[in-house]
Each structure stands twice: as structure tokens, then as C-alpha cells.
Amino acid sequence: MNSLILTAASRAIAALMLLFSAYMLLRGHNEPGGGFIGGLIMVTAFALYAKSFGVDAARRALFLEPSHIAFAGLLLAVLAGAAGFLAGEPFLTGLWLFLGASGDDKGLPLSTVLLFDVGVYLVVVGSVLALFFELEA
Amino acid sequence: MDTIVALSAGLLVAGGVYLLHAPNLMRLIFGLMLLGNAANLVLLAGGRFFGAVPPLIAEGETLVAGDPANALPQALALTAIVISFGILAFAIILVLRSYQFLGTADADAMRLAEPDTAWESPGESPGESPGESPGESR
Amino acid sequence: MTAVSAPSAADAPAGNPLWTFGFALIPAGITAGLLLLLPAVSAGQAVELVIPWVPSLGISAGFRVDALGLLFALMIAGIGTFVFLYAAEYMRGYANKLRFFILLTLFMVSMLGVVLADNLILMFVFWEMTTITSFLLIGFSHNKAVSRQSALQGLLVTGAGGLALLAGLLLLGIAAGSFDVSTLLADDVDVRTHGLYTAVLVLVLIGAFTKSAQFPLHFWLPNAMAAPTPVSAYLHSATMVKAGVYLLARLHPVLGGTDAWLWSLTIFGSITAVLSAIWALQQTDLKQMLAYTTVMALGTLVMFLGSGSEAGVAAAVTFLVVHALYKSSLFMVVGAIDHATGTRDRDRLSGLRRGMPIIWLIAVGAGFSMAGFPPFLGFIGKELKYEGALAVASEPWLVAAAAVLANACMVATAGLICLKPFLGSPGRFDGTPHDPPAAMLIGPLLLAAAGLATGIAPEILGTSLVGPAVQAVWGDPVVVKLKLWHGINLPLMLSLLTFAAGLAIYRYRETLRGWLTTLAARLPVTAEGAYDHAIAGFKRAAAVQTALLQTGRLSRYVSVIAMSMAGLLVLALIDGGTVGFAWVPLLHALASASLLGWTAFALIAVAVPVIIWSRSRLTCICSLGAVGVAVALLFLLHGALDVALTQLLVEILFVVLLALVLVRMPRLNQGRKPRVVRRIAAVNALAVGGLVTLTLLAILNQPFDGRVTDFFEAKSVPEGYGRNIVNVILVDFRALDTLGEIAVVAAAFLAAVAVLRIFRSAGVGPADGVGTGRPATGTAPVLPADGVPAQGSTP
């Protein structure tokens, strides 16, 4: 596709979408969003990028082999679940750590649940992109 | 509103089932897509919508204000959508590959594994002549 | 008839690695361990080991060694030691020795599991394991059709019995309220008066009878002779077939004693014993003769377990030991003869005594025990049998007559095996008779010697093992005295009668065989024939069914599925009693629907027909996108924000995917269906679609229990620390579901990638379409690129 407008705009749009996808992922526990939605946005960004600059450029931009990302995500999700064992809880029990919590302020919540959602995100990104890159190659 | 969803689901199912009968495998994929959408609607409606307020709790609260929508079927439908996407993607690649491999997108013409003649003589003998078995020494 | 399982030396590596002997250490070690338990168990204690398995269902992996279990376990491991040793030598010429010994070990372990398991379900698991491993062992020479067929026959018969047994054990567990054998035996649970008793009894008996080869399901056992001889020796003496007997003995205190139990065991057991004892005389293959005597022994055991008397049970338990000892050693003798001469045909074998003196000695020792001559253990067993027969609760004279007749045939058969092949002038066979190497001698020799030693000094066996085992079967304390001389009494008279009859049968064996052979040829129906007919009928039914349903036409499958679904939906609607709707409120609800709702519906209503009828790929893609957006709108209207977002994103990506793929596909108007097919499709579509709408409305009319959602709503912030309830459910409350789902997503997409990569190296691409990458089957019709089959008109 040789659209000048698309080519010119898509770099910026893709970058914005990447940012947006990370935002959707991280806020997902409290607002609409989450691993699935964030992952799909990321895929859309890369599909757009691949459309304008070619698959090879998109592959280089992604830096990692998409199928590896998918497997890493699956592993991360399983490990996040297994972390429950450390606390003597059943598999997939969420563990929470509130950094800098004081009184009313809950601080920065970190949790295995978030790691799990990141795993979901990576699986969606990796597996869907693997197919798109393969198909356009 | 529920009635609208029920009518839409029925319509999507009808279209999907009709398309599944089509010989062209791409149309079959279209049918599967419609059925997938219908299934998600049925899943959500069958699990009850409840209210129309999104199941989001305001900052500092512990319950949803107003009449919240049912969160459980939403969670189920959300994953169902992504999974059906995966399955459909696999199906469509399979169709593409079999077209490239067999030279046809007509399901009924794909008879590589089971040529038409295979159905004429179903198996007759129950194993290799039971008379040989050691129990029947004459 | 030639030897079916003579070693096929041609395809095997020579030599005999030492490790094959090493396998014998496994059963030897187990035997030693069991012997350590013997003093405690003889004193009436039971050794237990319990591992929780499925605690929520009350199933535990419990093992319990009591006297009955120990008796069986000792036979399994003890005889197993000698069988393993024998096999190490015997299997010298076979290929795949490692596989053989692993299978044999697995078989032994599963047998031990059956007799030591303290839980009915656990026992059943081991029971099925014996079925599977014996299938693999019987069919070990898998390049022979006879082996495969016999193995399959054994598997089908015992497997079917296993299904019945599973049902029986489940019902028993329900009736008794526990699946633990010890609880069943200890508590005063009276299953006999329970309403399920008859069902339990019938199902358990089917399981036991198939496994222990009772008439009319006996035929698989003689056919199982296709296995290598060490397997036959093991299968027939101590394992497999004894599993059914063990089951009956084990459940005797729970199920036994009723009229139904007495009569069914007595009748099936006595018929089996007599018929198989007679048929043993008709055989010419020595191994085959032994196989029929095994069936006879099993019949006798079942008959006495159904006797309902202490003496009968004592006879059964004693005979169990007697039979295990002589049968294993006789099988190994026959294997040695087969090895040396290349034949097992009794007509061709004679005069072996000079070449194989030690084997003859063993044969005589074991054979005399089989015939029941004093001072062998077999004599004590036989005296006890007659004593038990006369004490039978149901029909003592019927049982006694059956026992005498069967034993007389056994005397003659024993003579045919241990005398006939060894006496006279050398027969017509190829090899030079010679005694086998020590590894093949030591087992049968010791086992035969054990038959003699325990016959001379039976008290040790009686007090340490047989007595406690009888007590375990009978339930109440009993005194069992094993001794050679009981004085001149009725059993002794019957013994003399047996010997006389046996000698007569031996004398006139050829005449008798002539009659039997004529009879066999004239039998209108045989059990095996019935089995063959059943299997053939099953295959025909499968062929008809397949031809009817598996037409190879996708549209026909879809039609069948659609019609079935419509039928099921109609049934569900009728069954739910929800056919009659309150139509007015529905219409009212329709009228009050929002404009956006109607818009979404209208979008779908326009787009679906367009997808169906349009021939333009681009139009179809756009319409599919429109449907996706309309569905997302419906989600949104019902407060499903996250779902709507996901739906929209997926829709975008799918449209991109479709566009990428569709450009490489042919036009959509290819291959239109005949008008009739399209009409059927339309009818199916309208029926299923309409029914889905009706069903959904009916569901929505039902009351709903929303407690799960209430729980999630209430716990989302306090316990999930999240305000988006949908996301909290996804990644916390129901995270296991999500884990499974992302695994599926990854698998589906990566599989699609794999499908794309296949053949890419073989050079099949969109450009060349057909041919180069096709596997060289040569039978497939050549399909030109336009998609019309070059051959094969459709019926």
C-alpha cells in the first residue's frame, strides 16, 4: 500500500497506540481495560506499522520473536500463579504488596495478579502477531 | 432490550447455519464468525444482563453505584471472544492452506484422504479366518 | 497343529544379555519383603499403607496385606521369580526383550495391586491394568495374526467384564457406604439385604467370570496360549485368571452366603469344570490341554467358593495353592519340550525320557500333584475338595459328581502330559531332546518339589497361610488342618473311584477323542462362534452406520448437526414446559427498546442477508465488520464495556486477517449447490435460528440465582483490590479459567503459524496451486486448479 498520508501518520499513530495499550493494561484492574484489551491494541498498532513499512520493519521494531513473547507470557502467567505456593496458598492466589502505604494512602499496589495480567497481554500480543507476520511474509 | 438480543442472536444463528451448508469454505468461515458472535450474545444474555451500569466501582467505594450489569458472564464472554478469534484464525489459515494445496475451496471436492470409491465395500470378514485360532484344533 | 508360539529365531539377535536375568530380582525382592510380613499376618494382623488420593470422593490409595492378600501376593511374586528366571533363558531367541520384561514386570505389579488394594476403585484400576498388560503380553508376537486375534479377544472379553465390574463396584460402594475393603469387611454393613444387592452381585459376577474364564466366556483363555510360554505359565498359574477368583474370595464375606450367590457360583463353576476337563482330553497341543485344565481349575475354585461351607472354602483355598504350583511348573516343562523338539503335539511326542531326564522328573512330580496322588499336595487338595463337596449347602451330590468327573479327566490329562511324551520309542520330531539350561530347570524343579514337600509336611502351609486365608474368606474363625491321612472315609472312597475312572479314560483316550472331535464338529453353536458372530455383526453395524453418517460431504454433516440441534432445542423447550410465553409483555418490551438497540438489530438484519447472497469478497468483509460492530453495540447497551471494547478490537483484527487471506482465495461464487440442498439449508437455518431465539426468551423468563455475581461484586474491592469487577474475575477470582484460555489462544495462533509454514519448504505456494507438494499416494484424484474433481462423480 503506497499511501503517503498513511505512511507519514502511521509512525506517530503506532507509537501512540503502543502507549495506549500499556496504559490500558496497567489500569485494567480498576478501569475498563486489562491484558486482553491492551494486547489487542498492541497487535493493532503493529499491524498498522507492518502495513505501512513492511513486515521486516515491524519485526525489527518488535525486537523479539513473537512466538517467544507468547511463550514467555504463558510462563509468566504460570509463575505468577505458582507464586501463591510461596505463601502457602493454593495455585493462582493473588499476593499483594502496597509500596509506600501509609494510613489512607494505599501506595503503589504491586501484585502477582498484575503479573498474571501482563502474562495474558504478552500471550495475546505474541501469538496474534506471530500469525500476522507469518501471513504477510 | 433482552428481546432485541434474542432476535439478533436468532438471526445470526440462522445466517451462520445457512452459510455452514455452503460448499465454499470461505463462506463456511463467514458462517462460523456469525455463529461465534451469536454464541457470545447468548452467553451474555443467558447469564443475565441485570442492570445497564458498567460493573466498575468508583474510587473509594466498595460497591457499584446504581444497578450494575452482571460482571460474571461479561468475563466469560470476553475470553470467549478472544478464543473464538484464535479458533477462527486457525480455521481460516487451514482453509487457505488446503486451497493452495488441493487447488479447490470446495469442501465436497476435497477427497484426498477418502476417495469416493472407498464407500463401496465396507469390511466384511471378522479378522483373519477364526478357524486358525488355537482353540479350534480339529 | 504346529506350535503357534515357537520362538522365531530368525528375526532376533543372538546372545542373552545378563540384564534379562536381573529382572528376576524384582519379584525375588518383593517375595522376600512379603515373607517378612508373614509372621504378623499369620497371627491375624493386617499391614496397612494408606495414601490419600481423591479424598473428596472417599477414594484413597490404600494397601492392606491380610492373609488372603498375602497368599495371593506370595504366589504372584514367588512364582513370578521363577517365571522371570525361566523367561530370561526362554526368550533368548526373541526380539524386543526389554519390552517383554517391562511388560511382564508391569503385569506382575498390577496383579499385586489387585490383591493388595484396600480400596475398590484402586483395585479396579489395577484390575484394568492387568487387562491391558495381558493384552500386550498375549499379543507379544505381534507379527502373527493368531497372536493379535487372541490378544484382542482376551481384551474385549475381559474388558467388557471390567466395565460390568466397575458398575458393580460403584453400586457396592454406594450400597455399603464405603469403598474401603477393610470397612466393608469389618463393619456390619449388610449389603445382602440392600435393594441393590442383586445388581451388585450380577455385575461383579460378570466381571469375575470373564476374568476367570467361566463358561460360556471361557474361550479367550485357551486362545491366550498364543503368548510366549513364560507368559502362559504366569497367566495361568498365579495371575490374571486368579484375579476373578480373588475377587470372589475377597467379597465372599460381603456378598456371599445368599441363595443367589450359592446357586450361580455352583452352577457356573461346575459346568465350567466338567466341560473344560472333558475338552482338555480332545486337545492334541500339550499347552492347549494345560489351558483347558486351567479353565477346569477355575471352575472348581468358583464352584467351591459358592459352596457356602467352611470345608468348601478350605478346599478352594488349598486347591488354589496346589494348582498354582503344579500348573506353573507343567507349563515350563511344556515350554522346555517345545524348545527342544519344536513341537507340542502329543501325537508326535514320545520317548523323551532318555534325552530329558530332569524334565521328566519334574513333569512326573507336577503331574502327580495334578492327578492328586499321595503324598503330593494335590492329594490333600483333592481330599479337601471331596470333603467340601459333601458339605456343600445347595446340592452336595451334584458338586461331588462334578468334582469326581472333572478330577478323573484330570488324572487322564496328567498322564497324557507327564507320561505319554516321555515313554515309548522316540517320536516324529525334528530336534534332539535335551534338558534345557539351569535357568529353565530351577523354577519348575523347585515348584514341583514344593508340591511334594508341602504334601509331606502340610502343617506349615496350613497354619501359616492357608488357615488364616480361609478365615479371611469365610469371615469367622475356622480351624483348617491339612494332613495326608484322614482315615478311611467317604472322600477316600471317592478318590479311589477317581483314580479308577481316570485310568479308564487314559486307556480309552483315543476313542474318546474321536467322539469328542465328531461332537465338536457337530455342535450347532459354540461360545467362540457366538463371539465371532457378535464381532462380525458389530463390524457390519459399524460399516452401515458409517456409510450412513460419514458420507464425506461436509454439507450433509452440517445438516445432520443442525437438525439434531433443532430437535434437542424443541425437546428442551417442551421439557422445560416453557412453550407458552407471555407474548404481550414481550411485545411490550420490544416497543420500549431503545433506538440504539433497534439500530444494532437493523444492522444485523441487513448485513446477514448481504453476507449470504453477495458474491463480492469486499462486500462480505464489510458486512461481517458491520455485524461485529452491531454486536459490540449490543454489548455496550447492556453495560458490558470491556466486552464491547474487546469485540471491536477483535473485529478490526479479524477483518484485516480476512482481507489478507481472501485475496489469495478464489471468488465466492465457486461451486454452487443444487436448489434442493439450498432449500434444506434454508429450512435448517430458519429452524435453528428461530429455536435459539425462543430458547433464549424462555431462559430469560426463568428465575435466576445471582448469588455468584453478588459474591464477586462484594469481594472485588476488599479481597481483589480492584474496581473493575470483570477484570478482577478474569485475573483473580477465575484466573485458572483465564490461564487455560490464554493457553488455547497461544496454541490456536501458533498452530496456524505452523500450518502456514508446512509445505512452504516443499514449494507449494499460491502461484503453483497444485501438485508439487502432494504426498506420493498415487490414489488421490487429480484436482485441477479450477476446483472441479477430475474423477469420481458424486452419487
Examine the pLDDT at A124 and tell me if it is beyond 80. Answer: yes
Q: Is residue B136 part of a domain?
A: no
pLDDT above 50 (res B128): no
Q: What is the count of structural domains for chain B?
A: 1
Percent pLDDT > 90 in chain C is 14
**Lowest-pLDDT range, C37-51, C99-113, C283-297?**
C37-51
Q: Parallel, antiparallel, or unpaired: how do β-strands C47-54 and A108-111 relate? A: unpaired
A36 touches chain B (CB under 8 A): yes
Q: How far apart are CA C701 and CA C581, in angstroms?
A: 8
Q: Say if C34 falls within a structural domain.
A: yes
CA distance C392 to C386: 10
Task: Please state at what angle helix C67-90 crosses helix C467-474, rounded to 10 degrees.
Answer: 120
Q: How confident is the model at residue C166 (pLDDT cuts 50, 70, 90)?
A: very high
Question: Cβ B56–A135 below 8 Å, yes or no?
Answer: no
Give the residue carrying C-alpha cell 466397575: C166
What is the CATH classification number for the domain harbouring B93?
A: 1.10.287.3510
**Predicted local confidence at residue C250, as pLDDT:** 87
Contact between chains at C665 and B42 (C-beta distance less than 8 A): no
DSSP secondary structure string for all residues of C243-256 = HHHHHHHHHHHHHT
> Chains near C, with 3+ CB pairs < 8 A?
A, B
3-state SS, chain A, equals CCCHHHHHHHHHHHHHHHHHHHHHHHHCCCCCCCHHHHHHHHHHHHHHHHHHHCHHHHHHHHCCCHHHHHHHHHHHHHHHHHHHHHCCCCCCCCCEEEECCECCECCEEEEHHHHHHHHHHHHHHHHHHHHHHHHHC
Residues of C with CB under 8 A from a CB of A: 641-642, 645-646, 649-650, 652-653, 656-657, 660-661, 720-724, 726-728, 730-732, 735-736, 738-739, 742-743, 745-746, 748-750, 752-753, 756-757
Give long-range contacts, CB 8 A cutoff, 24+ apart: C613-622: C614/C668, C615/C667, C615/C668, C615/C669, C616/C668, C617/B26, C617/C662, C617/C663, C617/C665, C617/C667, C617/C668, C620/B30, C620/C668, C621/C655, C621/C658, C621/C659, C621/C662
Q: Are A3 and A86 in contact (CB under 8 A)?
A: no
Residues C69 and C38 in one domain: yes
- How many domains is chain C built from? 3
Within a domain: C763 = no
B56·A127 Cβ contact <8 A: no
Number of H helices, E strands in chain C: 32, 2
pLDDT of residue A2: 61
Same domain, C194 and C266: no
Name the residue facing C543 among B51, B87, B123 (closest C-beta): B123
Across the interface, of B7, B77, B112, the residue whose CB is closest to C780 is B112
The pLDDT of residue B34: 95
Reading the block at residue C290, the C-alpha cell is 494345560
Q: How far apart are CA C302 and CA C307, in angstroms?
A: 9
Tell me: do C209 and C326 sit in the same domain. Answer: no
What is the domain range of residue C269? 259-507
> Which of 16-55 (A) contact C at CB < 8 A?
28-37, 40-41, 43-44, 47
Residues 6+ apart with CB under 8 A from C635: B44, B77, C643, C644, C647
Q: Which domain holds residue B103?
A: 1-54+69-110
Average of pLDDT values for C196-220?
87
- Which residues, 6+ apart, have CB-to-CB distance to C487 below 8 Å? none
Neighbours of A107 (CB within 10 A): 11
Q: Which residues of C touch A70 (CB under 8 A)?
A: 746, 749-750
**Looking at residue C671, what is its pLDDT?**
52
pLDDT for B98: 86
Q: Let me know whether C441 and C412 are in one domain.
A: yes
Bridge partners, C117 (sequence order): C63
Q: State whether A124 and B89 contact (CB < 8 Å).
A: no
Distance CA A28, CA B54 (A): 14
Q: Report chain C's mean pLDDT, rounded to a whole number.
A: 81
Q: Is A32 on the interface with B (CB under 8 A)?
A: yes
B60 domain residue, yes or no: no
Contact yes or no for C657 and A135 at CB 8 A: yes
pLDDT at B126: 40
Q: What is the pLDDT of residues A39-51, one digit of tens each?
A: 999 999 998 888 8
Q: Give tens-digit pLDDT for C754-766.
A: 998 876 655 544 4
Q: Which residue has the higher pLDDT, C43 or A24?
A: A24
Amino acid at C100: F
Burial bucket for residue C127 (CB in 10 Å: 0-12, 13-18, 19+): buried
In Å, how far from its chain's centre is CA C528?
19
Identify the pLDDT of residue B30: 92
Q: For the packed helices C67-90 and C241-255, what is the interaxial angle rounded to 10 degrees? A: 180
pLDDT at B43: 92
User: What's the Cα-to-Cα distance from C211 to each of A29, B138, C249, C302, C591, rounded to whole Å?
Assistant: 59, 26, 14, 12, 69
A neighbours by CB contacts (3+ pairs under 8 Å): B, C
Tell me how far apart the alpha carbons of residues C171 and C316 are, in angstroms, rounded to a whole number.
Answer: 27
Q: What is the pLDDT at residue C577?
A: 63
Give me the mean pLDDT over the C110-130 stretch.
90
In the block, residue with C-alpha cell 486337545: C283
**What's C593-614 look like in SS3?**
CCHHHHHHHHHHHHHHHHHHHC
Check residue C770 and give its pLDDT. 41
Q: Is C59 helix (H, G, I), strand (E, B) or coil?
A: strand
Which positions in chain C touch A28 (Cβ < 8 Å)?
Answer: 724, 727
pLDDT given at position C580: 59
Give yes or no: residues C203 and C305 share one domain.
no
> Cα Rg for chain C, rounded, in angstroms?
35
How far does the CA of residue C702 sit from the closest CA of chain A (Å)?
A: 31
C617 touches C664 (CB < 8 A): no
Determine the Cα–Cα distance for residues B31 and C373; give it in Å rounded to an integer.
Answer: 81
- For cell 508439487, name the residue: C772
Least CB-CB distance to B8: which of C601, C624, C730? C601
What residues contact residue C533 under an 8 Å CB cut-off, 6+ apart? none
Residues 6+ apart with CB under 8 A from A82: A91
Backbone angles phi, psi at C61, to 5 degrees: -85, 70
In terms of CA atoms, which chain C residue is nearest residue B104? Answer: C787
Q: Are residues C141 and C268 located together in one domain of the fold? A: no
Residue C3 scores a pLDDT above 70:
no
User: Is C4 domain-assigned?
Assistant: no
Query: The cell 484436482 sits on which residue?
Result: C783
C265 and C237 co-located in one domain? no
C752 found inside a domain: no
SS3 (DSSP) at C420? coil
**Number of alpha carbons in the 13 Å side-chain half-sphere of residue C261:** 24
The model's confidence at residue C579, banded by pLDDT at 50, 70 and 90, is: low
Owner of C-alpha cell 483348617: C480
Which residue blocks in C139-213 are alpha helix, DSSP H?
145-176, 181-186, 197-211
H-helix or E-strand containing B52? none
Chain A CB contacts of B93 under 8 Å are 131, 135
Q: Checking DSSP bridges between strand A96-99 and strand C59-65, what pairing results, if any?
A: unpaired
Q: Is the pLDDT of residue C123 over 60?
A: yes
Q: What is the pLDDT of residues C737-794, one digit of tens each?
A: 999 999 999 999 999 999 988 766 555 444 443 433 344 333 333 444 443 333 333 3
pTM of the model: 0.65
What is the per-residue pLDDT across C611-641, written as a single tens digit (0 to 9) for each?
Answer: 988 888 889 999 999 999 999 999 999 888 9
**Locate cell 507336577: which residue?**
C366
Q: Which residue of A has its CA nearest to B79?
A: A36
Q: Where a domain ends, among C507, C541, C572?
A: C507
Is-contact C217 C438, C-beta < 8 A? no
Inter-chain residue contact C661 with B24, CB threshold 8 Å? no
Q: Identify which of A29, A47, A81 has the shortest CB distance to residue C653.
A: A47
- One domain for residues C326 and C451: yes
C280 vs chain B: nearest CA distance in angstroms? Answer: 11
- Would you say residue C192 lies in a domain? yes
Mutate to test the interface with B, among A24, A29, A36 (most CBs of B within 10 A): A36
C671/B109 touch (CB, cutoff 8 Å), yes or no:
yes
Q: Exposed, middle or buried by CB within 10 Å (0-12, 13-18, 19+), for C266?
A: buried
**Residues B53/B66, Cβ–Cβ less than 8 Å:** yes
Taking a C-beta distance cutoff of 8 angstroms, is the pair B4, C646 a contact?
no
Q: Has residue C710 been placed in a domain?
A: no
Which stretches within B47-112 are classed as H helix?
71-102
**CB–CB of C662 and B13 under 8 A?**
no
DSSP-assigned states of every residue in C700-720:
HHS----HHHHHHHHHHHHHH
The reply to whether omega before C216 is within 30° of 0 (cis) is: yes
pLDDT value at residue B51: 80
Is residue C783 assigned to a domain?
A: no
d(Cα A47, Cα C46) in Å, to the nearest integer? Answer: 70
Q: Do A123 and C642 touch (CB under 8 A)?
A: no
Sign, CA dihedral C445-C447-C448-C454, equals positive
Q: Is residue C17 included in any domain, yes or no? A: no
What does the pLDDT read at residue C633? 93
**Contact list, B42 vs chain C (CB under 8 Å):** 692, 696
Q: Which of C403, C390, C276, C414 is nearest to C333 (CA)?
A: C414
Q: Averaging pLDDT over each range in A66-70, C218-222, C420-424, C459-463, which range is the top one?
A: A66-70
For the cut 60, the answer to whether the pLDDT of residue C553 exceeds it is yes
Please give the angle made by the CA atoms of C384, C388 and C390, to the nearest 5 degrees. Answer: 125
- Residues C440 and C583 both lie in one domain: no
CB pairs under 8 A between A and B: 16
Q: How far apart are CA C728 and CA A117, in angstroms?
A: 10
Residue of C412, C423, C378 lying closest to C503 (CA atoms)? C412
CB-CB under 8 Å, C635 with B109: no
- For residue C656, the chain A residues in CB contact (below 8 A) are 47, 132
Q: Are B24 and B105 in contact (CB under 8 A)?
A: yes
Asked if residue B76 is part of any domain, the answer here is yes
pLDDT range class, residue C670, cuts 50, 70, 90: low
User: 3-state class of B106 per DSSP?
Assistant: strand
Which partners does chain B have (≥3 C-beta pairs < 8 Å)?
A: A, C
Distance from CA of C426 to the nearest CA of B (A): 24
Chain C interface includes A91 (CB < 8 A):
yes
Q: Out of C551, C744, C783, name the one closest to residue B104 (CB).
A: C783
Test B93 with C661 for CB contact under 8 angstroms.
Answer: yes
Domain boundary among C507, C532, C561: C507
- Do C450 and C561 have their domain in common? no
Confidence of residue C585 (pLDDT cuts 50, 70, 90): low
Residue B121 exposed, middle or buried by CB count within 10 Å (0-12, 13-18, 19+): exposed
Is the residue at B28 inside a domain? yes
Strand stretches in C213-267, DSSP E: none
- How far apart CA C345 and CA A2 sit, in angstroms, is 88
- Inspect the interface and report whether the beta carbons of C731 and A37 lie closer than 8 Å: no
Q: How confident is the model at residue B138 (pLDDT cuts 50, 70, 90)?
A: very low
Helix (H, G, I), strand (E, B) or coil at C62: strand
Cell triple for C623: 458486512
Residues of chain B neighbouring A124 (CB-CB closer than 8 A)? 82
Residues of B in contact with A127 (CB under 8 A): 86
Give C355-379 pLDDT, tens digit per residue. 888 888 888 888 888 888 878 888 8
Please report which confidence band the pLDDT of residue C564 belongs to, taking 50, 70 and 90 as the band edges: very high
pLDDT at B10 over 90: yes
Position C669 scores a pLDDT of 66
